[in-house]
């Protein structure tokens, strides 16, 4: 593909060249490719159809997951999170040993590789929060708990410049990828001062449906604030907020 330069940016198709806008700027490429009906029916494209089906499953799964945690995700994400999550879920699909190629699913794959997935590469939890925490999940009751020991923020949190306060957030979701549905519940600490005084011990509690038969994830994040004249403002529109998958429980 080629990048458009100059003052006037084009959109549409002219002389077999497609002009379009992406997050990378205004691009152009030659129109072409194999006829869609041939891809859908020609035996020679069986592998292509299988790959497309599984890519579609990963894409839908990513949407299900993102929709489930949207309350927290809207405050901590980068512009590539959709494609990065789809890529990771496609890897999960390919670990499914129960179904034939082209029919493999996320829920029948090994989801453990999703643990540690960072939703915002501009502010990774793994390089932001350095205090120990433990997660517990009871599938029978659906109860999930995330315990954080007392810590000194300026010692245990690598906050961006300008931070005066922060809070820790968490959420639990069970994910029904087959039906593209989910449940979600979250908890959070109070907005705390970013200083050297130890915080209180925190126990964030949430619940998923009891006796769920779906994969369950727990996410943990941190959000940064700046106090101005007694008002709390999200620091730099949340550009450095972190959110990560810290636990996965499957049946």
Give 58-69 pLDDT, tens digit per residue: 999 999 999 999
Q: What domains can be seen in the chain, in order of their start residue? A: 1-32 (no CATH), 35-113 (no CATH), 114-249 (2.60.40)
Identify the pLDDT of residue 173: 97
What is the overall mean pLDDT for the chain? 89
DSSP state letters, the chain: -EE--SS----EEETTEEEEEETTEEEEEE-----HHHHHH-GGGHHHHHHHHHHHHHHHHHHHHHHHTHHHHTTS--TTHHHHHHHHHHHHHTT--SS-TTS--STTS-GGGGTT-BS-TTS-GGGTB-S-EEEEE-TTT-EEEEEE----HHHHB-PPTT--EEEEEEEEEEEETTTTEEEEEEEEPPPEE-SSSPPPPEEEEEE--TT--S-EEEEEEEEEEEEETTEEEEGGGGTT-EEEEEEEE--
pLDDT surpassing 60 at residue 39? no
pLDDT surpassing 60 at residue 235? yes
In the chain, the percentage of residues whose pLDDT exceeds 70 is 86
Give 132-147 pLDDT, tens digit per residue: 999 999 999 999 999 9
Lowest mean pLDDT among 16-25, 96-105, 107-116, 156-165: 16-25
| Residue 133 or residue 4, greater confidence | 133
Give 77-120 pLDDT, tens digit per residue: 999 999 999 999 999 999 999 999 999 999 999 999 999 999 99
Confidence at 24, pLDDT banded by 50, 70, 90: confident
Identify the pLDDT of residue 237: 85
231-243 average pLDDT score: 93
Q: What is the pTM of this model?
A: 0.83
pLDDT surpassing 90 at residue 184? yes
């Amino acid at each position: 593909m080629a990048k458009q330069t100059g003052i006037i940016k084009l959109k549409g198709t002219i002389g077999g060249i497609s002009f379009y806008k992406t997050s990378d700027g205004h691009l152009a490429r030659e129109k072409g490719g194999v006829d869609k009906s041939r891809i859908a029916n020609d035996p020679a494209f069986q592998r292509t159809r299988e790959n497309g089906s599984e890519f579609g499953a990963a894409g839908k799964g990513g949407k299900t997951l993102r929709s489930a945690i949207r309350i927290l995700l809207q405050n901590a994400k980068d512009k590539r999170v959709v494609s990065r999550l789809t890529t990771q879920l496609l890897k999960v699909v390919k670990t499914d040993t129960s179904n034939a190629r082209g029919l493999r699913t996320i829920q029948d794959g090994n989801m453990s590789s999703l643990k540690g997935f960072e939703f915002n590469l501009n502010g990774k939890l793994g390089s932001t929060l350095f205090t120990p925490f433990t997660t517990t999940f009871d599938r029978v009751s659906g109860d999930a708990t995330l315990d954080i020991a007392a810590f000194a923020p300026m010692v245990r949190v690598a906050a961006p410049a300008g931070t005066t306060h922060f809070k820790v957030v968490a959420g639990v979701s069970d994910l029904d990828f087959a039906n593209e549905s989910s449940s979600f519940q979250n908890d959070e600490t109070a907005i705390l001062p970013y200083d050297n005084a130890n915080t209180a011990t925190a126990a964030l509690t949430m619940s998923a449906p009891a006796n769920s038969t779906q994969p369950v994830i727990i996410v943990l994040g941190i959000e940064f604030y700046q106090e101005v004249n007694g008002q709390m403002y999200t620091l730099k529109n949340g550009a450095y907020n972190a959110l990560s998958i810290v636990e996965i429980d499957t049946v």
